[in-house]
Structure 1
Amino acid sequence: MTRSAVLLVAFTALGCGAPEPPESTGGTSVPSGPCGRGVAVAHQDEGYASSNVSLLDWKGKVLSSSFISSATSGAKLSAKLTGDVVLPTAPTTGERLVLLDRYPAAVITWVDVESAEVSAQLSVRSGFAANPHDYLELSATRGLVTRFNRNPDPEAQPLDRGDDVLVLDPSAPEPVGRIDLSPALAGSGGGYKASPHRMIAAAGRVVVSLLAHSTDYSDALPSRLAVIDPSTESLGQVLVLDGLYECNGLALSPDGQRLAVSCTGRFQGDSEPAPGESAIAVVTVGDALEEVARFPADPQAPFGFSVSWASEHTLVANTFGRETAPTRPDTLVELDIDTGARRVLLESSDRPFTLGDVRCAAACGTCFATDAGRAVVHAFGVDAGGRLGAPSPIHVNDAIGLPPRWLGQF
């Protein structure tokens, strides 16, 4: 079962009804610091009907409780936000925040940070539900988008094929090319697609995580990392993470030399991943990608969708709970990659699949984690040794009624 399908099953099981998000509370003029301005929080209802995006600074102060939402309208907002809005993996720099409206909308939205006004939108559907999963801006005139889905039309033009990295000129905005990822599955036989997910710029290259799903989404190959040369917009090395599946989390270390990759394992037709296929891998990004460490999941707690670096030696990741007996909560765990020691920082309140995204800023000694069950964002201080303190809950906006789920740095 795919990531989106699992989330939809989990969210709809928690209830229905979509509270109306409020009108915008504006942007922020907070200057950018060593970690940027802060974090953006994407709130979503259980049925994927509506979204709200709020802004926090790195101290946990609410800068705007409703920066933009499904209720927002404006001259340059040709498509209102749906309930499947996420934020880029890499920090968004500059004067605009980027939002990805994934499935079925397939729209990229650029919003001015200070005014909260939409400056541009671009549909990347190209005649099919492209399902954009990530955006990476390389310059004012070059941006990349991972299109998770493949166009079912075998006669589609190259720019309309999907299952690729779409190259954009964000200043227009318009598509200007694509990077075919099908060679990354060479030798794997038919019936599978690259399923590009997250992207990170590292060591002058772009690393793309590939989930390698079957075309009917019933199975997957081992996940892999693909290297793209941004100067030639071509595919290079492909590192297969043997034995690891559904590697959804991707994070760059503070020194820019290593990647952390969190893998859930395949979902066996229900909400329970295969624990033997779940781990966090550490990969160096020197002349070539190389896996240098692997931390298998606890058999009773497969890793979730998110991982982040609290320091050069400490990772923070979420784990999945279990809905069926014997039930267990989600957890947020601290992992010392030097010793392998783990420590539980937080458990979900009363149901699984509610502890979500994690974002840390090592230079600012802070981590944030979303908690949809309690409808809060937790802030954690990080000491000089990379150890996290107790969680401090932040109620971003109790009036919204949309729980926080995803985070992005801006």
Structure 2
Amino acid sequence: MRRGIGLAAVLVIGCGGGSEPGGIVPLSEEPAYAVVLSDYTSTAIAMVRADGTAVDERWVTSGTETPGLVAALSGDVAIPSAGLGDGTLWLLDRFRTDVLTRIEVPSGEVLGQVRTHDAGEGESGWSSNPHDVALIADDLAWISRFEPNLDPAAPELERGNDLYAIDPSTMTRRGMRIGLSQYDVEVAGADGTSATAFARPSSIVRLGDVLVVGLARLTVAFDGAGPGAIAEVTIATGETRLIELEGLHDCARVVPAGERAIVGCAGFGDMAGKRATAGIAVVELVDGHVEITRTLRFGDDEQLPVASQGVVHVDADRVLAFEWGAFDPATPDRLFEIDLATGSAVEIASSAGPFELGSPLFDGAEDLALVPDASRGLRRFVRGEDGTWSEMDAIELATDLALPVRHIARL
């Protein structure tokens, strides 16, 4: 059992359903996945089996009161994009909370919390906005800090726009960072004037001895984007290298795909601009370094959907991804299976309205895809031997909390 530092103060909001005075209730069995339910004000974490059914619908919530919690969950919570597999639940409390929490599964023991930047004097206006975690060793994990610190007098360790080191065994900051500001670029903002598109690191995937880091490369006002790119970080030395994805923008999402990784580039601009700059790429290690080995650009084929959101690997060159809908005119999100080798897409499902689907999770052993849907809960799709998808009954979670299902991830 790994233990974190002892933390005393408790912030309580509301009433937690999955906890009791003195601690989080231990789970009755090992879950396979964690699910984030959120209305962007409050959050609950459900723990589910491999088939999507609930072990506990509200194991931790924004109202959980338990020793070891110094900050309750906010409304902007994420789980690391790749399962860390260390027997714990990692929760990233993002913008304006900036806290990483670690809870042992299934016991519910809080191993600790750590703030992802020093909130000392002069730093209170900056949010580091942690986006992902890569576990390297028992005493080392790297966190991607999405936000740059615009204070020119900020200490070296508090500049953001970087990877930041913590010690998971004590849940303390290690005083190390890998800066990525060398990959900032100047672009035209919405008013035509020059603005800095910061690297803005997001997802992290480990391939061999390197980390592949997705970069959003967006301005402070999110009104300008730099060329799509990912960063290669050598674990042993901290050396970095930029790999550009020609013609693409906002390549923040990277997901594991066996010995490869898949990069989803969301594109940038109006609908025509997004089509022209959105795509999906495959990256592999070649002689120890990351190389782009396949790229699908949606702008090359007007018949393809612009489905680069929530990309997840299925098998071989096939992925699941969805296309956002729109409010005016009202159109739903649409989920597709995409074959990167043939450049073909098959629609699997759609949502009731726009911006309701979350990133899918695929279980290859069961040929089962679990898809968060803000209106319908956790939707389930099984793939038959002929490759077609059939929808099973959706799983509704903690309906009395009225918190939409947003995200699912492996532990």
| TM band (smaller chain) | 0.7 to 0.9
Asked whether 1:39 is paired with 2:42, we answer no
Partner of 1:209: 214
Partner of 1:96: 88
**1:38 partner letter:** A
Partner of 1:129: 127
Q: Could you tell me how far 1:380 is from its partner in structure 2?
A: 2.1
- 1 CA distance for matches of 2:407 and 2:98? 17
Partner of 1:15: none
Counterpart selection for 1:303 from 286, 296, 307: 307
| Inter-CA distance 121–212: structure 2 relative to 1 (3 Å threshold) | same
Q: Could you tell me how far 1:160 is from its partner in structure 2?
A: 1.0
Once the two structures are superposed, residues 299-329 of structure 1 have per-residue CA deviations (whole angstroms, 9 ceiling, x without a partner) of 584335311112223210111111112x321
Asked whether 1:357 is paired with 2:363, we answer no
Asked whether 1:312 is paired with 2:316, we answer yes
| Inter-CA distance 51–226: structure 2 relative to 1 (3 Å threshold) | same
Q: Residues 314-393 of structure 1: matches in 2 within 5 Å?
A: 314-325=318-329, 327-349=330-352, 351-374=353-376, 376-383=377-384, 387-393=388-394
Q: Could you tell me how far 1:334 is from its partner in structure 2?
A: 0.6
Q: Could you tell me how far 1:244 is from its partner in structure 2?
A: 1.0
Q: Secondary structure at the match of 1:389?
A: strand
Once the two structures are superposed, residues 284-304 of structure 1 have per-residue CA deviations (whole angstroms, 9 ceiling, x without a partner) of 233332222222337584335
Partner of 1:117: 109
**1:41 partner letter:** V
- 2 CA distance for matches of 1:209 and 1:273? 20
Decide whether the 8 Å contact of 1:330 with 1:354 is kept in 2.
yes
Decide whether the 8 Å contact of 1:282 with 1:292 is kept in 2.
yes
Among the aligned pairs, what percent are the same residue? Answer: 26
Once the two structures are superposed, residues 252-272 of structure 1 have per-residue CA deviations (whole angstroms, 9 ceiling, x without a partner) of 11x32x22212221144xx99
- 1 CA distance for matches of 2:197 and 2:148? 10
**2:88 partner letter:** R
- 1 CA distance for matches of 2:406 and 2:272? 20
Q: Compare CA radii of gyration and give the structure with the larger one.
A: 2
Once the two structures are superposed, residues 43-63 of structure 1 have per-residue CA deviations (whole angstroms, 9 ceiling, x without a partner) of 111xx2100010111122211
Partner of 1:394: 395
| Inter-CA distance 248–348: structure 2 relative to 1 (3 Å threshold) | farther
**1:203 partner letter:** G
Q: Could you tell me how far 1:384 is from its partner in structure 2?
A: 5.5
Q: Could you tell me how far 1:146 is from its partner in structure 2?
A: 0.5
Decide whether the 8 Å contact of 1:22 with 1:400 is kept in 2.
no
Q: Secondary structure at the match of 1:159?
A: helix
Pairwise CA RMSD of aligned residues? Answer: 2.4
Gaps of 5+ in 1: 1-17, 32-36
- 1 CA distance for matches of 2:396 and 2:273? 31
Counterpart selection for 1:149 from 147, 150, 153: 147
| Inter-CA distance 234–28: structure 2 relative to 1 (3 Å threshold) | farther
* Count of aligned positions: 378
Partner of 1:262: 264
Decide whether the 8 Å contact of 2:45 with 2:61 is kept in 1.
yes
Partner of 2:196: 191
Decide whether the 8 Å contact of 1:19 with 1:401 is kept in 2.
no
Asked whether 1:252 is paired with 2:250, we answer no
- 2 CA distance for matches of 1:275 and 1:186? 22
Asked whether 1:64 is paired with 2:56, we answer yes
Decide whether the 8 Å contact of 2:134 with 2:142 is kept in 1.
yes
Q: Secondary structure at the match of 2:399?
A: coil
Q: Secondary structure at the match of 1:310?
A: strand
- 2 CA distance for matches of 1:156 and 1:171? 28
Q: Could you tell me how far 1:391 is from its partner in structure 2?
A: 4.3
Counterpart selection for 1:224 from 229, 244, 248: 229
Q: Secondary structure at the match of 1:143?
A: strand
Length-normalised TM-score, structure 2: 0.85
Decide whether the 8 Å contact of 1:90 with 1:409 is kept in 2.
yes
**2:396 partner letter:** H
Q: Secondary structure at the match of 1:356?
A: coil
- 2 CA distance for matches of 1:301 and 1:339? 14
Partner of 2:3: none
- 2 CA distance for matches of 1:187 and 1:228? 23
| Inter-CA distance 364–107: structure 2 relative to 1 (3 Å threshold) | same
Q: Secondary structure at the match of 1:392?
A: coil
Decide whether the 8 Å contact of 2:185 with 2:197 is kept in 1.
no
